[in-house]
């Protein structure tokens, strides 16, 4: 017998979804509502039978939910909403309250709301979508799958900041890490790939590089997060599309006190005007920068070099944390599609005996290392919605 699970990944102005048949994990329908809250909203919807793309005004996430479920019924993918046994929601921040996925009851809903201060662009949106499902379709079970939960296995030596310990005790100031759903998927997938091979190792040491407009790296051992690059918030760590990553914290009071920059402008600068965009002064999209760099744009080339350096430095430090490395994995929009960036990163790591095969890398093979490489180097397409569906099925059925 099969059950239908709906996986929801709500962003600040988008809502991605997948309807899956479980436990076969067959995708029935998938799509995205984009530019929610704007006049030029877009809906992309794909099933085995057809593909739809149209422009439509989507005033809110709640409206998107009603359109989504109505569309699933009207298109014949389901006959009624009751066929869906569970809805899984990606929730950005679970703090220390949630070590894993949970069924959403009133108490858990309240905790997610309280954590909104730690993820103001994400948790309130997820909560509004959850409430919409619970209001309009109360018979469906709702499950929260947290982006932070996977990293709750980190030791204090990795998650604490060198600040007064009282800040952790009173205000829970610590590294939480994000992209946990993606990194967990990579950990599971690589373990399965290795188990299928002859002489497969147990407890594979993995470094997962989720490189996209948002980017983070995770050191994984025994299927658990050992360390990760994002911190108290998703702005920390690597240089990203428009986020600065790790910087000297005294830059912030300098801008506020000496340059009279309002704190809200500083926040916007760090989140929306820095990273690849800030250095290149042209784009937060790596594809644009690669093209511009080949045409001689020096700032685009500098942005790429800075990005590559920070990724390589983080990988190197995580090899120390893991006491070795079995698999380096690239995933995310840049990690999966930018062969040049993968090559530049691995070139920086030759001191560790890593090297790529040019042809395999450019062809997007699963394995891209050459025969002399000391570890496996893989390109794996992440699937956060599938991980959400697996967790939801586990808790709903």
Residue 118's pLDDT is 81
Picking from 106, 128, 146, the residue at the C-terminal end of a domain is 146
- Looking up residue 42, the CATH number of its domain turns out to be 3.30.420.40
Angle between helix 286-294 and helix 339-347 axes, rounded to 10 deg: 80
CA distance 278 to 210: 21
Whole domain around residue 241: which residue ranges? 198-379
197: pLDDT confidence band, cut at 50, 70 and 90? confident
Average pLDDT, the chain: 94
**Does 204 lie in the same domain as 285?**
yes
**Does 340 lie in the same domain as 205?**
yes
**Does 104 lie in the same domain as 202?**
no
**Cis status of the peptide bond prior to 23, with omega within 30 of 0:** yes
Give the CA angle between residues 175, 218, 6 to the nearest 5°: 90
Assess if residue 220 is contained within a domain. yes
**For 329, what's the count of Cα atoms within 13 Å in the CB-facing half-sphere?**
30
Assess if residue 341 is contained within a domain. yes
**Does 124 lie in the same domain as 205?**
no
**Does 13 lie in the same domain as 84?**
yes
Assess if residue 192 is contained within a domain. no
**Which residues, at least 6 apart from 70, have a Cβ–Cβ distance to it below 8 Å?**
none
Please say if the pLDDT value at position 244 is more than 90.
yes
Question: How distant, in Å, are the alpha carbons of 63, 216, 267 from that of 245?
Answer: 34, 10, 12
Token pair 């600065």 is at which residue? 244
Query: Which residues carry out catalysis?
Result: 147
Total domains present in the chain: 2
**Does 296 lie in the same domain as 204?**
yes
Farthest CA pair distance, the chain: 66
Picking from 146, 177, 210, the residue at the C-terminal end of a domain is 146
Residue 212's pLDDT is 95
Assess if residue 12 is contained within a domain. yes
**Does 71 lie in the same domain as 206?**
no
Please say if the pLDDT value at position 199 is more than 60.
no
Assess if residue 169 is contained within a domain. no
Question: How distant, in Å, are the alpha carbons of 268, 284, 318, 338, 339 from that of 198?
Answer: 51, 42, 27, 30, 28
Taking residues 164-193, report their average pLDDT. 96
**Does 346 lie in the same domain as 229?**
yes
CA distance 187 to 281: 36
CA distance 7 to 88: 5
Assess if residue 168 is contained within a domain. no
**Does 203 lie in the same domain as 87?**
no
This prediction's pTM: 0.93
**Does 305 lie in the same domain as 226?**
yes
Please say if the pLDDT value at position 198 is more than 80.
no
Assess if residue 182 is contained within a domain. no
**Does 231 lie in the same domain as 317?**
yes
Taking residues 346-368, report their average pLDDT. 97
The residues pairing with 17 across neighbouring beta strands, listed in sequence order, are: 8, 31
40: pLDDT confidence band, cut at 50, 70 and 90? confident
Query: Do 16 and 388 meet the contact criterion of CB atoms below 8 Å apart?
Result: no
Residue 229's pLDDT is 99
Assess if residue 300 is contained within a domain. yes
Secondary structure class of 231 (helix, strand, coil): coil
Query: Do 136 and 90 meet the contact criterion of CB atoms below 8 Å apart?
Result: no
């Amino acid at each position: 017998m099969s059950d239908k699970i709906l996986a929801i990944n709500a962003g600040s102005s988008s809502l991605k979804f997948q309807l899956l048949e479980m436990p076969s994990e067959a995708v029935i329908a998938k799509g995205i509502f984009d530019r929610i809250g704007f006049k030029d909203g877009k809906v992309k919807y794909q099933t085995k039978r057809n593909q739809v793309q149209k422009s439509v005004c989507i005033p809110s996430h709640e409206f998107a939910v009603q359109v989504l479920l109505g569309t699933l019924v009207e298109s014949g993918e389901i006959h009624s909403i009751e066929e869906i046994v569970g809805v899984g929601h990606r929730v950005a921040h679970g703090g220390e309250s949630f070590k894993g996925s949970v069924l959403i009851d009133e108490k858990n809903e309240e905790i997610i709301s309280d954590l909104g201060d730690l993820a103001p662009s994400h948790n309130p949106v997820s909560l509004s979508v959850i409430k919409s499902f619970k209001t309009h379709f109360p018979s469906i079970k709702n499950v929260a799958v947290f982006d932070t939960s996977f990293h709750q296995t980190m030791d204090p030596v990795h998650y604490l900041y060198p600040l007064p310990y009282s800040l952790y005790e009173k205000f829970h100031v610590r590294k939480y890490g994000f992209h946990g759903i993606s990194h967990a998927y990579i950990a599971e997938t690589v373990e399965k790939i290795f188990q299928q091979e002859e002489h497969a190792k147990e407890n594979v040491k993995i470094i997962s590089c989720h490189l996209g407009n948002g980017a983070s790296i995770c050191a994984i051992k025994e299927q658990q997060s050992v360390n990760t690059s994002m911190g108290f918030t998703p702005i920390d760590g690597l240089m990203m599309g428009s986020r600065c990553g790790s910087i000297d914290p005294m830059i912030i009071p300098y801008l506020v006190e000496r340059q009279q920059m309002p704190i809200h402008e500083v926040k916007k600068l760090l989140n929306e005007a820095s990273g690849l965009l800030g250095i290149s002064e042209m784009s937060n999209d790596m594809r644009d920068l690669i093209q511009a760099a080949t045409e001689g744009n020096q700032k685009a080339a500098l942005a790429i070099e800075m990005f590559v350096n920070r990724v390589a430095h983080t990988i190197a430090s995580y090899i120390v944390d893991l006491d070795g490395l079995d698999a380096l994995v690239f995933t995310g929009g840049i990690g999966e599609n930018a062969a040049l960036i993968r090559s530049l990163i691995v070139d920086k790591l030759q001191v560790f005996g890593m090297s790529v095969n040019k042809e395999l890398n450019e062809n997007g093979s699963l394995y891209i290392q050459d025969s002399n490489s000391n570890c496996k180097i893989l390109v794996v397409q992440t699937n956060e919605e599938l991980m959400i569906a697996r967790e939801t099925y586990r808790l709903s059925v």
